[in-house]
Amino acid sequence: MSGVTPSNPFSLTKANDLSDDQIQELWVDIAPPDSPDSLFSAGRFASPMPTFILGSKGSGKTHLMRYASFALQKKRFEREKLRSLAGARADGYVGIYTLCSGLETGRFQGKGQSEEAWLEVFSYYLELSLGIAALAAIDDLLDGEARNHIEPRLCAAVGLLFDSDPPPANGVGALINELERRRRELDYQVNNAAFTGELVPNVTASRGKLIFGIPQAFQNCSSDLCGFIFAYQLDELENLTEAQQKHVNTLVRDRRGPATLKIGARQFGIKTYATMSAGEENIRDSEFEELRLDLRFRRNEKTYRDLVALLVERRLQNFWPHSSTGLAGRGRRLTDWFEEPKRDPFDPFFQKLVKGAPSSERPHIFRLRNALAARLPRGGVGSVQNDEDIAEITNAIAVPEAPLLEKLNTFLIFNAWARGLDLKQTAMSVKSDCEAFVTSKAAGRYRQKLDHYKSDLIAQMFRDASFRHNYGGLDEFTRMSEGQPRALITLLKQTFDWATFQGERPFEAGSISLDAESKGALAAADWFYNNMRKAGSEGQAILIAVDRLAELFRINRFADNPIECSLIGFSVSARIGSETSQRNLRLALDHSFLVEILGGQSERNSEQVTGKFQLNRMLVPKWGLATGRRGIKPLSEVELNAIFDPEMSEAFENVKADWVSRMNAPFDRARRASKDFANGDADDSQNDLFSD
Amino acid sequence: MRSSPRHDPVTDELQSKIKTLHSSIWERRADWPEVLDWLDQFEENDDPDADEQLQALRLLSSFMYFGVNEIRALLRSLFRDTFRPQVAKEVRSSLSSSITLGMVGSMVEAELRRTRFVSLGNPSESSALLLYYFRQENSLPKNLFLHGSDIFDLSALGSGGSLMVQNTDITRYVFIDDLCGSGHQAKEYSDRVVKPLKSISPDVKTYYYPIFGLSNGIEHLRTHSAFDEVYPVVELDPTFRAFATDSRLYVEPKIAQLRLPTEATCRRYGGELVPAHPLGWEDGQLYIGFAHNTPDNSLPIFWCDHTGSRPWRPIFRRYPKVFW
């Protein structure tokens, strides 16, 4: 039976599941914390300006915020032999971390009470909770001697913050106890409101009084206590209702004194920017700053790659000492642990894919020959009038030693067919270009076409051979993770599990097989996809839309003449589409099933705004699509609605039939303008593959 | 061989299921190289319906393995949900209806002190291990346990006296087993131990509690053995037999037609491995295994470990009883 299986170094994927020590241990940054390029400084925890730290699930928000929290600051102070107060001054802040889900905000509604009443109760509850957290930090900051003379003054000052019933306390501990008692009382009332029908809290402090007043009162006690701010870190703001978020927005707007708010939320989690200050809305860069974590990573691929490498190495540093090979693994390049998919057209692997068959018996030649032969009874295709003509073409484009190039050649013939060019002449031209490439391997238009279409060509060859499509290599996994470190960790976790199950020794010996990597990628895609099932009817609508989109991309990927290479992206005008399809497109973006393409997003042309989007690459293994996006397909309004409106299944079937027909021999619709599917922006006819 | 990169959705699905089982409830007992090694003993065929390897893989993906934690949980249930309520029921029926809950409770405790839990076989066999777990899980004192041979006092036998019971204060004997298949072994035990016991002390109550029991075997014991109570924690009805006409393995219409060919495959290999019982002891046809052993009522292709004329590598090895 199996021996001991090494524990998976990537098994912990959520920052919420990590202990403080693990948060500290697993933290990596791309630059020193004081550098403006560092992730840490991007959180701007020491800045009084409130910050929204936004990002998709798994983009690292919680890890960043917890790393910046006082619990972790203290660990670093200890390591540097700094007293807490000196450390806070050096950092410029103390981070008071609170998970919004921990407030159990769902309790503050219904139960026969008015919305206004609940909002007041929630407001007071937040005052008490953050007040307690601030006092707990103060308790840690105060040293022995200073404590004795500061505490009575602080308690007196804090007492003045209350509208009634100032807490009778002489020390911070007693103050905390009293505030906790009031919170427990409130908890009791809130929890029992459904049974008692009553909600008569004794609200003793106004909004913001404690949250902003306690830090101010503390620093007023002595100039020695100044030089840093209290950064309230509210994580998972998406768990608050719109009204509750409005309350938090008001705190953001009314921020004062040595205190600020750093708010973590999913990018779709911000339900409103409105405040209770005369209906004013908070404006970015005026009332708050915004840090979009995954966007930051996606904008700077190199930065993200470096971060990812550090992140993986950090996990492995903890794994190697316990592995059978010990620390020996450290000496190896990270990418060498992963087998890479074969891409060289002269790799013998491609002979294996066609089972060493002669050119004439290979599936792609077979397909071309059959397609042309099927047209002979209907007058052939241009100069191709009989079997001899077909043989002349297939002989010309045959490359016995490099099946991948031969496959490209069939693509080029299909492309010429779709464009109504002379196929015999094209075959001669392809033959000459191909021979030149085989001889020189030089860059040129043939090489360019090969590079562009390689992914689709290989995918088709894999499918013909009934092989599982390969995903693998650290670079490809990094690309797939779309700037979300947790997505990468999930990919590696699944890959590690598959590799060990299949008897490999990942990160100990050899390289992780492509088979294990591909199965890991598929398992990670399934995990990502199935998470959405929990999102109710909205989730269902997203899944239908994404399934349809992927189905169309698959038609393109496995077509005789794809309209775009490595197609996983589309563009669409912001002005078109039904309300339903626009909403579902937005939802798919919010849930990261679709990703906005940078550099082209909301691009303004002469008249309209065009959005460019792509499938999240974490999902592509589900459908065997490419991870390296090249082409972008402009979608017409009919196509947009057919994909993103779940009710439009019949229209979607029509779109599908249209795509199949225009991309596959005999290309009946390829050159025919369609009233239904074409419009000015949706020119989807494939260019001449030989035009530069 | 299923290790090739060929993409076969059915194999992929089964492999994925086995991976999940392996890393969770199978306690890492069958990783993929071991599965491949086992599968390699079957014939491969391009026709999926005739592919023995695919048949075996499908069967394996349904294998019910009970690890130490699961067995311990079932032993807790045996005491808490099976035996203790039975004693409470008997106590209550012996009292008038006006008794209080507290009184029943204390009487149940008193009855438990006059109960002995007995392992069914030899002290070196699995039932002794089960009793060890049973004692730990239910926090029972050691003196409530004994071996079958300790039930009787044999001291008077040589001097013309008769067989006597060692401790006449004991009112209940509970016999614990892991699996009751056909019920024949337990029936034998009943004849050898329980019958003589009942002939000496007719008022003593005897209970046979296997963790798992096939319905037919349980019924056989209820009608033919001397046990007063026969009750499994988990009863396996005939649908748990792999190739029964209503087998739960082949309910899905698209795989229903695989039942007979798979049975033929298992019968063919099983016939070479255990000629008298090709589908398991007394045609058990089970696909069940425990952390401590795999019962011989399961299909021999899973557990048989042959090194002789027909070598066979098991996937869930059975440690057989060796007789000298």
Q: Please check whether residues B50 and B192 belong to one and the same domain.
A: no
CB contact under 8 A, B28 and A2: yes
pLDDT range class, residue A1, cuts 50, 70, 90? very low
Angle between helices B101-113 and B84-93 (to 10 degrees): 120
**CA dist., res. B174 & res. B145, Å (int):** 9
**Do A9 and A319 form a contact (C-beta atoms < 8 A)?**
yes
Same domain, A131 and A73: yes
ipTM of the complex: 0.84
- Specify whether the CB–CB gap between A141 and A229 falls below 8 A: no
Q: B266: distance to nearest CA of chain A, Å?
A: 22
Please check whether residue B137 lies inside any domain of the structure. Answer: yes
User: With the CA atoms of A361, A367, A373 and A378 taken in that order, what torsion angle do they form, in degrees rounded to the nearest 10?
Assistant: 180
Q: How confident is the model at residue A6 (pLDDT cuts 50, 70, 90)?
A: low
Residues B89 and B183 in one domain: yes
Write out chain B residues lying below 8 Å of A1, CB-based. Answer: 28-30, 34, 317
Name every residue whose Cβ is closer than 8 Å to that of residue A547 and which is 6 or more positions away in sequence.
none
Res. A347: pLDDT tops 90:
yes
* Residue B324 covered by a domain: no
- Read off the tokens for A17: 């599941």
Buried b (16+ CB within 10 A) or exposed e, A128-139: bbbbbbbbebbb
- Find chain B residues with C-beta within 8 A of A493's C-beta: none
Residues A324 and A286 in one domain: no
Eight-class DSSP state of B231: -
Separation CA B234–CA B74 (nearest Å) = 9
Which residue is listed with tokens 């000459």? A432
Is the residue at B321 inside a domain?
Answer: no
Helix axes A579-590, A637-644, angle to 10 degrees: 60
Query: Per residue, what are the HEC states of A455-504?
Result: HHHHHHHHHHCCECCCCCCHHHHHHHCCCCHHHHHHHHHHHHHHHHHCCC
Q: Tell me which chain A residue has its CA closest to the CA of residue B11.
A: A468
| Domain total of chain A | 4
State whether B201 and B106 are in the same domain.
yes
CB contact under 8 A, B19 and A498: yes
Residue keyed to tokens 């990537």: A10
Average pLDDT, chain A: 90
If asked whether residues A286 and A308 sit together in one domain, one would say no
Strand partners, A660: none
The residue type found at A115 is E
Residues A554 and A406 in one domain: no
User: Is the domain of B231 the same as that of B250?
Assistant: no
According to DSSP, the β-strands at B64-66 and A632-634 are unpaired
Pair (A47, A60) in one structural domain: yes
Pair A224, A270 in one domain: yes
Per-residue pLDDT tens digits for A93-113: 999 999 998 888 889 988 889
Average pLDDT over residues A451-473: 94
CB contact under 8 A, B30 and A469: no
Same domain, B232 and B273: no
A677: nearest Cα among A668, A687, A669, A686: A669
Give a yes or no: residue A11 inside a domain: no
Judge whether residue A173 has pLDDT over 50.
yes
Asked if residue B165 and residue B53 are part of one domain, the reply reads no
DSSP string, B137-196: HTT--GGGEEEGGGGEE-TTTTTT---EES-TT--EEEEEEEEESSSHHHHHHIIIIIHH
Q: Residue A228: name the closest of A133, A96, A51 by CA.
A: A96
Per-residue pLDDT of chain B (324 residues; tens, 9 = 90+): 555 656 678 899 999 999 999 999 999 999 999 999 999 999 998 888 889 999 999 999 999 999 999 999 999 999 999 999 999 999 988 887 656 888 888 999 999 999 999 988 777 778 889 999 999 999 999 999 998 888 998 877 777 778 889 999 999 999 999 999 999 999 999 999 999 999 999 999 999 999 999 999 999 999 999 999 999 999 999 999 999 999 999 999 999 999 999 999 999 999 999 999 999 999 999 999 999 999 999 999 999 998 777 899 999 999 876 655
**Partner residue opposite B23 with nearest CB, options A467, A497, A515:** A497
Q: Which residues of A touch B23 (CB under 8 A)?
A: 497, 501
Q: How far apart are CA A581 and CA A590, in angstroms?
A: 14
Q: Model confidence over A538-574: pLDDT tens digits?
A: 889 999 999 999 999 999 999 999 999 999 999 998 8
Give every CB contact of residue B202 below 8 A, 6+ residues apart in sequence: none
Calculate the alpha carbon distances from B11 to A421, B6, B57 in Å.
Answer: 44, 10, 8
The three-class DSSP label of residue B180 is strand
Tally of domains within chain B: 2
**pLDDT reading at A575 higher than 90:** no
Stated pTM of the model: 0.84
Question: Is A2 in Cβ contact with B29 (below 8 Å)?
Answer: yes
Q: What is the predicted pLDDT for the residue at B100?
A: 80
Residues of chain A contacting B33 with CB distance shorter than 8 Å: 502-503
Its domain, for residue B54, covers 9-61+242-303
CA distance A503 to chain B (A): 6
pLDDT of A468 higher than 90: no
Domain boundary residue, one of A238, A272, A299: A299
In a domain, A17, yes or no: no
Please indicate, yes or no, whether residues B85 and B46 belong to a single structural domain of this protein.
no
Does A94 reside within a domain?
yes
**CB distance B28–A466 less than 8 Å?**
no
Inter-chain Cβ pairs, chain A and chain B, closer than 8 A: 45
Counting residues of chain A whose pLDDT is more than 90, the rounded percentage is: 69
A28 lies in a domain?
no
Q: Is residue B145 part of a domain?
A: yes
User: Under an 8 Å CB criterion, which residues of B touch A?
Assistant: 5-8, 12, 16, 19, 22-23, 28-34, 317
B31 → closest Cβ in A465, A468, A501: A501
pLDDT tier, A599 (very low <50, low <70, confident <90, very high otherwise): low
B71: closest CA among B15, B136, B125, B123? B136
User: Over the stretch A365-412, which tens digit does the pLDDT of each residue have?
Assistant: 999 999 999 999 999 999 999 999 999 999 999 999 999 999 999 999
Confirm whether B3 is domain-assigned: no
Contacts of A514 in chain B (CB under 8 A): 5
